Chains A and B, each alone.
Chain A
């Protein structure tokens, strides 16, 4: 092969301009113009894409882009005007259809045109800051069709009319609607908003305003809410079918505003059907609906909450001040528990477990439970009733549930120390009379109290249990030591109570019968033998006795009586008749107790082992009491006079309250000293605030009492007033 001769190829541009025929541009444009016409006339099939593209390309290339572009604009505009006329001419319902069809056509045409003019779109348009073809097409459509004076209003009116019809129950062509609104959206969000959405919202507002006015006059609350909910759902559905998704929140807020927010107060307060009656009748569905609707509007939920709170406080207040309801403490507490259950259920089922509602419930309960200062006592009595007999046969879990519910009420109490005092008293009675249903349940309750209030609250209570256990062991020890010596004498069961742990009862000793004294002394010797340095005092006002009695016709009964009553009855071993005075002298039982004992022995049907003359219920000094030979009872064992814990009489209540007040004084003082020790100098109001917050888990201290305690501490030189500012106090080390 011979080496090829190197050829120098150079490609150069034309050195001379190729002059285009000036008519060339015009001619080329005409071709394109014609094509556009054909496209709009649905005659595009006869066109050659390649040729048209090339023509457009050449025009741009030869710097005739401007002509092409403006030609396009004019041509399109011309067509669009024609289209506008045909749409305007459409009658009635065909208007929208025509519009829709033409829009579809226009889009197709636009696409083809854009394809043909693609080169211009990519080069001439950006560099000359012109609107791209597609967008241009949309804008022209907008300006010539949508904003044409004959079309604009008519279009809007039609759309709104259709929507109105649908709202009043007619079926409309949703597909068509969707296309139209989509068209508006495609034309730009401002078109959609200005030409449709805004007026739509305005009209909707009037519509719903009118409708809500009508409904509120004729519907009750539940019905109204159902209808409002339905409308709301309708609108949401409407949006999903043929409106822009962004319209949803706007239209729903219109409905919410007109139907709910504007009538909120009236709905809630509607007589016989409003919130209050829904609460009273446990209308969960209605309440739930109200909750869900109202949460959509500002202040909706707080309105519900406020009405619920004031209703609850009102009913609660009535409950705690109604003397009928207060007659039976157990019943009273049961009512409270039922009320709490009711509202818990409402909040759970209808109010979505909303925490703010739960808090409102708690604060309301706290408010009215503390309106009655006997609440602590009554709650303790309720627990007493349950632990004494109410829970027999109920399963352990149920027991826990009941006690937990009671603890909820306990938490609401402001005067927890009063509760403690009563609980102690009632517990003591239960333990000593052996009436407690189960040791486990008692303990369970103590644990709950301890968790709530701390160790200090329950340490004494636990001491009581310990004493009971220890006493059993002591008795065993006693009897094994007395083995041979007891014989026929009375059997003794002693509970040794540690003074600090048990509620203090001032006890005046009475004269025990001789038979009893012997064994009592034996026990005392035994006990003190193993526990030197202790002192034993018989609590004759707290014991019980079982006595065997034989009556006139030989009928025997076993009587279960209190110690006092035993002392009285034993006197009748030597005589058949005694006056009150004689009994008093012989037994030395305190008069008020003695009278009560005699009343239960002589004045109660079925238990009258004594006969009283005169037969009156009151006891006078000269009354005579006879052994009732004719006593009859179907039971062999007769129980007389052991009293279950009752609510206190007025004087007893005063006494307990006084004791509580006395107990509070040192607690307040201790708090003051603690605070002043660490802060050194404080003003009066701050001390009061601090003390209150320190003690609030037990009780609410009265500021006047705090002041008095401060003054007492000043006198005892724990504190002094500051010399410069008399409102400040100083701690004296």
Chain B
């Protein structure tokens, strides 16, 4: 906020007061409207994820419906029930997006704070509203920036509590899921390579750098730079692809 000029700051505050939005949303809307308040209101209200006021009582009810009888958390059974209610497969990637919104710490469980806080942010207080929001959440995966955030979030979420790295099987499963949304043709080779040559857990750095790799390096690997400070696993993957003739790298 302190990066904005005085006039802008005032507008942001006004905007927030009127719409009840977050600072981030306010700045976003104002920037998009070139700092005209009226235009900003239009933009804001025409956006789907408008923050409506949620009924905290409903939220409590919802939470209690799914919460585990012995622990103050929603665990596997609760989630299964939730998915049922939403008419969604628990393996559906939209649940990952949901978890991301909730800033869930670990997969297959939600804390009270995570669940209620997340739904509040999304402006959901009933199952119907939740169901309606699902298609929107699916569409978020198409957004480059959000996909990256969700992808990177997935690492911390999918790994075991207290572990630094992600178990290989889980990682492969996540990659299959994620790269079904954002197509990367080499994903199967990657997973195969890992199973054959690496067979160990995946570090966070490797995880996040893989997305960069998938985004920047073309399928012929013609713009792959050996000096590019890629994690060594990725270097080995490139070797693997060339050795096995899967990719013919143009000789320079």
Interface residues, chain A, with chain B CB atoms under 8 Å away: 683-685, 704, 707-708, 711, 714-715, 721, 726-727, 729
Interface check B229, CB cutoff 8 A: yes
Does A684 contact B203, Cβ atoms closer than 8 Å? no
Interface check B198, CB cutoff 8 A: no
CB-defined interface of B146-168 with A at 8 Å, one 1/0 digit per residue?
00000000000000000011000
Q: When the two chains form the complex, which single residue of A704, A714, A729 contacts B235, counting CB atoms closer than 8 Å? A: A704
Does B209 contact A726, Cβ atoms closer than 8 Å? yes
Chain B residues whose C-beta falls within 8 Å of the C-beta of A726 in the assembled complex: 209, 212, 229
Report the Cα distance A255→B151, complex, angstroms. Answer: 78
Chain A residues whose C-beta falls within 8 Å of the C-beta of B228 in the assembled complex: 684, 727
30 sampled A-B residue pairs with Cβ under 8 A: A683-B229, A684-B227, A684-B228, A684-B229, A685-B229, A704-B235, A707-B231, A707-B232, A707-B235, A708-B232, A711-B203, A711-B205, A711-B206, A711-B231, A711-B232, A714-B203, A714-B204, A714-B205, A715-B164, A715-B165, A715-B203, A715-B204, A721-B205, A721-B209, A726-B209, A726-B212, A726-B229, A727-B228, A727-B229, A729-B229
Chain B residues whose C-beta falls within 8 Å of the C-beta of A684 in the assembled complex: 227-229
Report the Cα distance A708→B206, complex, angstroms. Answer: 11
Does B205 contact A715, Cβ atoms closer than 8 Å? yes
Min CB–CB distance A201 → chain B (angstroms)? 52
Interface centre among B205, B212, B227, B228 (most CB of A within 10 A): B205
Report the Cα distance A707→B165, complex, angstroms. Answer: 18
Chain A residues whose C-beta falls within 8 Å of the C-beta of B232 in the assembled complex: 704, 707-708, 711
Report the Cα distance A515→B209, complex, angstroms. Answer: 66
Min CB–CB distance A382 → chain B (angstroms)? 37
* Ranked 9 nearest A-B pairs via Cβ: A684-B229, A727-B229, A707-B232, A714-B205, A715-B203, A708-B232, A711-B231, A685-B227, A711-B205
Q: Which residue of B lies closest to A688 (CB)?
A: B227
Report the Cα distance A708→B231, complex, angstroms. Answer: 8
Report the Cα distance A704→B231, complex, angstroms. Answer: 10
Min CB–CB distance B112 → chain A (angstroms)? 30
Q: Which residue of A lies closest to B236 (CB)?
A: A704
Min CB–CB distance B199 → chain A (angstroms)? 16
Chain A residues whose C-beta falls within 8 Å of the C-beta of B229 in the assembled complex: 683-685, 726-727, 729
Q: Which residue of B lies closest to A726 (CB)?
A: B212
Chain B residues whose C-beta falls within 8 Å of the C-beta of A708 in the assembled complex: 232
Q: Which residue of B lies closest to A715 (CB)?
A: B203
Report the Cα distance A304→B229, complex, angstroms. Answer: 43
Report the Cα distance A726→B227, complex, angstroms. Answer: 12
Since A704-B232, A711-B206 are in contact, a sample of 18 more A-B pairs with Cβ atoms closer than 8 Å, ordered by chain A residue number, is A683-B229, A684-B227, A684-B229, A707-B231, A707-B232, A707-B235, A711-B203, A711-B232, A714-B204, A714-B205, A715-B165, A715-B204, A715-B205, A721-B205, A721-B209, A726-B229, A727-B229, A729-B229
Q: Which residue of A lies closest to B209 (CB)?
A: A726
Total interface residues on B, CB under 8 Å, equals 14
Report the Cα distance A711→B231, complex, angstroms. Answer: 7
Min CB–CB distance B165 → chain A (angstroms)? 7
CB-defined interface of B198-234 with A at 8 Å, one 1/0 digit per residue?
0000011110010010000000000000011101100
Min CB–CB distance B137 → chain A (angstroms)? 26
CB-defined interface of B121-165 with A at 8 Å, one 1/0 digit per residue?
000000000000000000000000000000000000000000011
Chain A residues whose C-beta falls within 8 Å of the C-beta of B209 in the assembled complex: 721, 726
CB-defined interface of B53-82 with A at 8 Å, one 1/0 digit per residue?
000000000000000000000000000000
Chain B residues whose C-beta falls within 8 Å of the C-beta of A683 in the assembled complex: 229
Chain B residues whose C-beta falls within 8 Å of the C-beta of A729 in the assembled complex: 229
Report the Cα distance A87→B227, complex, angstroms. Answer: 84
Min CB–CB distance A729 → chain B (angstroms)? 8
Min CB–CB distance B56 → chain A (angstroms)? 37
Report the Cα distance A619→B75, complex, angstroms. Answer: 62
Report the Cα distance A6→B231, complex, angstroms. Answer: 125
Which of chain B's residues 180-208 have a Cβ closer than 8 Å to chain A?
203-206
Chain A residues whose C-beta falls within 8 Å of the C-beta of B227 in the assembled complex: 684-685
Q: Which residue of A lies closest to B233 (CB)?
A: A711
Min CB–CB distance A670 → chain B (angstroms)? 20
Min CB–CB distance A587 → chain B (angstroms)? 41
Min CB–CB distance B216 → chain A (angstroms)? 9
Min CB–CB distance B98 → chain A (angstroms)? 27
Chain A residues whose C-beta falls within 8 Å of the C-beta of B205 in the assembled complex: 711, 714-715, 721
Report the Cα distance A729→B205, complex, angstroms. Answer: 12
Interface centre among A704, A708, A726, A727 (most CB of B within 10 A): A726
Chain B residues whose C-beta falls within 8 Å of the C-beta of A711 in the assembled complex: 203, 205-206, 231-232
Min CB–CB distance B92 → chain A (angstroms)? 31
Chain B residues whose C-beta falls within 8 Å of the C-beta of A685 in the assembled complex: 227, 229
Chain A residues whose C-beta falls within 8 Å of the C-beta of B165 in the assembled complex: 715
Chain B residues whose C-beta falls within 8 Å of the C-beta of A707 in the assembled complex: 231-232, 235
Report the Cα distance A364→B124, complex, angstroms. Answer: 76
Report the Cα distance A715→B229, complex, angstroms. Answer: 15
Report the Cα distance A715→B204, complex, angstroms. Answer: 7
Chain A residues whose C-beta falls within 8 Å of the C-beta of B164 in the assembled complex: 715
Report the Cα distance A74→B201, complex, angstroms. Answer: 112
Min CB–CB distance B148 → chain A (angstroms)? 12
Q: Which residue of B lies closest to A713 (CB)?
A: B205
Chain A residues whose C-beta falls within 8 Å of the C-beta of B231 in the assembled complex: 707, 711
Min CB–CB distance A463 → chain B (angstroms)? 37
Report the Cα distance A300→B203, complex, angstroms. Answer: 58
Min CB–CB distance B152 → chain A (angstroms)? 12
Q: Which residue of B lies closest to A729 (CB)?
A: B229
Report the Cα distance A714→B205, complex, angstroms. Answer: 7
Chain B residues whose C-beta falls within 8 Å of the C-beta of A727 in the assembled complex: 228-229
Report the Cα distance A729→B228, complex, angstroms. Answer: 12
Report the Cα distance A711→B230, complex, angstroms. Answer: 10
Report the Cα distance A704→B206, complex, angstroms. Answer: 15
Min CB–CB distance A420 → chain B (angstroms)? 27
Report the Cα distance A684→B230, complex, angstroms. Answer: 9
Q: Which residue of A lies closest to B204 (CB)?
A: A715
Report the Cα distance A704→B164, complex, angstroms. Answer: 22
Report the Cα distance A711→B165, complex, angstroms. Answer: 12
Min CB–CB distance A593 → chain B (angstroms)? 34
Report the Cα distance A685→B212, complex, angstroms. Answer: 19
Report the Cα distance A577→B124, complex, angstroms. Answer: 88
Interface centre among A704, A708, A715 (most CB of B within 10 A): A715
Q: Which residue of B lies closest to A719 (CB)?
A: B205
Report the Cα distance A711→B200, complex, angstroms. Answer: 15
Report the Cα distance A683→B165, complex, angstroms. Answer: 25
Report the Cα distance A241→B188, complex, angstroms. Answer: 89
Min CB–CB distance A426 → chain B (angstroms)? 35
Report the Cα distance A714→B232, complex, angstroms. Answer: 13
Min CB–CB distance A555 → chain B (angstroms)? 63
Report the Cα distance A582→B7, complex, angstroms. Answer: 95
Min CB–CB distance A711 → chain B (angstroms)? 6
Report the Cα distance A212→B165, complex, angstroms. Answer: 76
Report the Cα distance A576→B181, complex, angstroms. Answer: 80
Min CB–CB distance A726 → chain B (angstroms)? 6
Min CB–CB distance A691 → chain B (angstroms)? 14
Interface centre among B203, B209, B232, B235 (most CB of A within 10 A): B232
Min CB–CB distance A687 → chain B (angstroms)? 9
Q: Which residue of A lies closest to B205 (CB)?
A: A714
Q: Which residue of A lies closest to B228 (CB)?
A: A727
Report the Cα distance A264→B235, complex, angstroms. Answer: 48
